[in-house]
Amino acid sequence: MTVSQIRIGTRGSPLALWQAHEVKRRLHDAHQHLAHDESVVITVIKTSGDRMQQGPLSEVGGKGLFTKEIEDALLGGAIDIAVHSMKDVPTWFPTGLLIDCLLPRADPRDALISSDAKSIDSLAPGTVVGTASLRRKAMLLHKRPDLEVVPLRGNVDTRLEKVASGDVGATFLALAGLNRLGRDDVPAWAVPVTEILPAVCQGIIGIERREKDDEIAELLKALNDFDATIQAAGERALLEGLDGSCRTPIAAFGELCGNNFRIRAAIIRPDGSELLKAERNGPISDAKVMGRDAAEELSGRASPGFFHE
């Protein structure tokens, strides 16, 4: 039996919809029998994370707030696949679901959004910076403890409006999201990974499916990107090794050079007072092993209370 229609589940933000439409386009291109517009249908699902717009994610439920309702629809058969930003995907999947299809990674770097500064170093002392990311907050305070960091939630437009109105002096967004939305009008300045290491899998789009849905699995094979698969394997192995959650600022970036894989990782106290780094290099076949090994090193070096503040 050939699948004649695929139902995609997604959040309703402009960026989430862009990602869902990108998956739809790739399915159209890869499979002739899915070339008609009605063959791939997008279903918008409002998540808890979309409804709860106040406070840091770590205090209101963590990454799962952006996936739970969508995954419930997937398990219940209301949709066939779900499209996620991999940086928002929790460490472990619900029983019966998996992600084994990843699109090519976009620019993994963070972008500083500011009308007055083009780099973190050029932010004026005392500048109020808004972010909902514990990782960004901790890394920023480690580098610039003289800045004031306040919670800032919302989609891309909401956060940009806060900067434009002067409610905050600056914020950070994923550069991949800005590029995908074509926001060339935004005063955005790419932050080198040597200054702020990205979130695990930042810039990667993942497609979630039911484990036993072999027909969907076969259709998704044509969309899977090899490099992104290796990068995600190493970075998520690190996350799992550190028992990662939104309460633990964790950062990682894996990159390929021929048959070699390099992963850089860091953990940070939420107040930025202590930052630990680890790095591994080796064959791409050992990406997961290197991620787990880096996690073990960081866990061993962390001082008491590092993961429990």
Going by pLDDT thresholds of 50, 70 and 90, the confidence category of residue 245 is low
pLDDT at 180: 95
The burial of 252, by beta-carbon neighbours within 10 Å (0-12 exposed, 13-18 middle, 19 or more buried), is given as: buried
Q: Are residues 73 and 115 in the same domain?
A: no
* Residue 263 placed within a domain: yes
Range of the domain at 13: 6-106+204-224
Q: Are residues 88 and 124 in the same domain?
A: no
pLDDT at 83: 97
The average pLDDT across 75-79 equals 96
pLDDT at 1: 47
pLDDT at 64 over 80: no
Q: How far, in Å, CA of 171 to CA of 162, rounded?
A: 9
Q: Count of CB atoms within 10 A of residue 298's CB?
A: 21
User: Whole-prediction pTM value?
Assistant: 0.92
The average pLDDT across 202-230 equals 97
* Closest by Cα among 156, 152, 154 to 180: 156
pLDDT at 123: 97
Q: Between 65 and 267, name the one with better pLDDT.
A: 267
pLDDT at 169 over 80: yes
Q: Are residues 272 and 217 in the same domain?
A: no
* Closest by Cα among 42, 43, 25 to 34: 25
The average pLDDT across 75-89 equals 96
pLDDT at 54: 55
Q: How far, in Å, CA of 197 to CA of 266, rounded?
A: 8
* Residue 195 placed within a domain: no
The alpha carbon of residue 22 and the mean position of all alpha carbons in its chain are separated, in whole angstroms, by 17
Which of 65-69, 137-141, 164-168 shows the lowest per-residue confidence on average (mean pLDDT)?
65-69
First to last CA, the chain: 53
Max CA pair span of the chain = 64
- Whether the CB-CB separation of 163 and 183 falls below 8 Å is answered with no
Active site residue 88: yes
Q: Are residues 215 and 78 in the same domain?
A: yes
Q: How far, in Å, CA of 287 to CA of 181, rounded?
A: 31
**The two structure tokens encoding residue 107:** 């620019």
**The two structure tokens encoding residue 201:** 């899998």
In the set 50, 80, 88, 110, the catalytic residue is: 88
Going by pLDDT thresholds of 50, 70 and 90, the confidence category of residue 62 is low
Q: Are residues 91 and 125 in the same domain?
A: no
Share of the chain above pLDDT 90, in %: 80
Counting Cα atoms < 13 Å in the Cβ hemisphere of 98 gives 10
Q: Are residues 116 and 75 in the same domain?
A: no
* Closest by Cα among 249, 240, 241 to 269: 249
Q: Count of CB atoms within 10 A of residue 217's CB?
A: 15
pLDDT at 300: 92
* Residue 267 placed within a domain: yes
pLDDT at 307 over 90: no
Look up the CATH number of the domain holding residue 136: 3.40.190.10
Q: How far, in Å, CA of 68 to CA of 228, rounded?
A: 24
Domain count, the chain: 3
- Whether the CB-CB separation of 20 and 83 falls below 8 Å is answered with yes
pLDDT at 50: 63
- DSSP 8-state code for residue 117: -
Please report, as a single letter, which amino acid is at residue 25.
Answer: R
